[in-house]
Structure 1
């Protein structure tokens, strides 16, 4: 995928062209009204956008006079570098960047127990953007409710929950804070974050490890073949590079058996960490969250 054919196009028009490509790619049709409604432009501008797209990709869409809209051809090929994450988000939540969308076309569904509180999330995001600490009231599983000052540098979704990765001044270490366990959050405008409290000092965040993941050894040949196909394995396994801080979450979310001898059982256990002993010996803090016999 590339943007060849759109050199010199303004950023706003490129967004509209990407919208045309998304609609053609994922819905099989596109109309002038689609562009007009999404970007609040007139009919002439929408016509020019469609013309520019067809000129660059003449085999992607054709006009169907019976249905009175453009339809996707069997020769369709993406011209623009569409983001898989953003496309899937659109299929789940509709169009638009931040406002709740009302479009009828949504064919993907996200399963989640709870969404993070936007006020809490926004406070952490502002702290990261302005390089400031946050005073929070937090409920932890070990100490219950407490007030502490943290210095966040990233937000992370581990597949189950949203976390803030931050330096905890109370414990003098980097940790993960579940956003929905934060009761209150106040940005400390007059305080600065020290160099030792920034992402550059978070070793578990900046260092990566390779997880070699295979179809679980106890699976029969048919199950193994299906799993290998599902995860795009080559020679029976695939390698996933992950931050040290993410290792346990990733293995837990995907139910990857992290025992050295592939001891876990259950129909939900389809994968095994082939280099479990190597990863275990690295003493990665998050590895304690990985599925095991402990």
Structure 2
């Protein structure tokens, strides 16, 4: 804290706490914050937003620089010290769903418990390097500990989107030096990225940009039918679980082609690609959509 200031951050009024926390969050996890961000979040005018930034600098004078040409406050990579320690999963949830001031304090509105949380799975400082790259449109290099390959060599990735399957946080990225079959666009687990370095001056080439990711951009229709190996009781249970009409056998939805593999495992979908003796809830009727 600035030595000329006697006020402690913990003692500021709740509304000021929320605004300063938002500045801290945006800087750390996206790399920038503008006055327009404060207007969108708190309905503040330019003068009021500037006062918030000034007050933030009272507590953390070295955390941000001002880029005059872009009229943007930017993350000071060499000296940043968070005002609030955001947990990585909390931050990712806010990046995906919007900043939630109610989550700044651990006071749920109703009794709540979470089952099966892996301790220390994600490091917020490492996660922030990736989320800043997503916001800034630049690359990262890292060692990726894949469970499908023994190749843990350094990779250059261009991340562009977050993915959450209800349990695990991932990001979609282009792997610049991808070799072998398949697309260079893949899902990567945050927890498997090691030795992350931001490449702020390295941007994606045309063929590495999200618009070139066919599987990410393509929505496919899925015609799912209750599996014929299910008992009638099992079918009824699944109808309740998926809010299907009484006696209905079919469920129709659309999903990104790149996310189908997650859905198929979570919903136990038989698409002919796995052991036919496994337990399945649904059969994919229009399997041809997977080979588009």
TM over 0.5: yes
More deviation in 221-230 or 145-154?
221-230
Partner residue, 1:132 = 138
Size of the aligned set, in residue pairs, is: 190
- Cα drift, residue 260 of structure 1: 7.9
More deviation in 182-191 or 99-108?
99-108
3-state SS of paired residue (1:177):
strand
- Cα drift, residue 165 of structure 1: 0.6
Q: Does 1:274 align with 2:280?
A: no
Deviations 1:60-90 (A, max 9, x none): xxxxxxxxxxxxxxxxxxxxxxxxxx9xx89
Alignment of 1:190-201 (within 5 A): 190-201=201-212
- Cα drift, residue 135 of structure 1: 1.1
Partner residue, 2:232 = 221
Change (3 A) 1:273 1:260: farther
3-state SS of paired residue (2:201):
coil
- Cα drift, residue 212 of structure 1: 1.9
- Cα drift, residue 188 of structure 1: 0.9
- Contact 1:123-1:185 at 8 Å conserved across structures: yes
Structure 2 unmatched ranges of 5 or more? 1-14, 16-89, 95-99
Deviations 1:146-182 (A, max 9, x none): 1111101101012342211101011171111111111
Q: Does 1:158 align with 2:168?
A: no
3-state SS of paired residue (1:188):
strand
3-state SS of paired residue (1:144):
coil
TM-score, normalisation: structure 2: 0.57
Q: Does 1:188 align with 2:199?
A: yes
3-state SS of paired residue (2:191):
helix
3-state SS of paired residue (1:211):
strand
- Contact 1:116-1:162 at 8 Å conserved across structures: no
Deviations 1:29-52 (A, max 9, x none): xxxxxxxxxxxxxxxxxxxxxxxx
What is the aligned-residue RMSD (CA, Å)? 3.1
- Contact 2:270-2:284 at 8 Å conserved across structures: no
3-state SS of paired residue (1:278):
helix
Partners of 1:103 and 1:118 in 2: how far apart?
22
- Cα drift, residue 191 of structure 1: 1.8
Alignment of 1:85-234 (within 5 A): 96=101, 99=104, 101-103=106-108, 105-107=110-112, 109-113=114-118, 115-141=121-147, 142-171=149-178, 173-234=184-245
Deviations 1:168-218 (A, max 9, x none): 011171111111111121211122222221111111100011222232212
3-state SS of paired residue (2:259):
helix
Higher relative contact order (CA 8 A, sep 6+): 2
Partners of 1:261 and 1:183 in 2: how far apart?
32
List 4+ stretches of structure 1 deviating above 6 A. Answer: none
Partners of 1:179 and 1:116 in 2: how far apart?
7
Partner residue, 2:72 = none
- Contact 2:142-2:193 at 8 Å conserved across structures: yes
TM-score, normalisation: structure 1: 0.56
Partners of 1:261 and 1:193 in 2: how far apart?
35
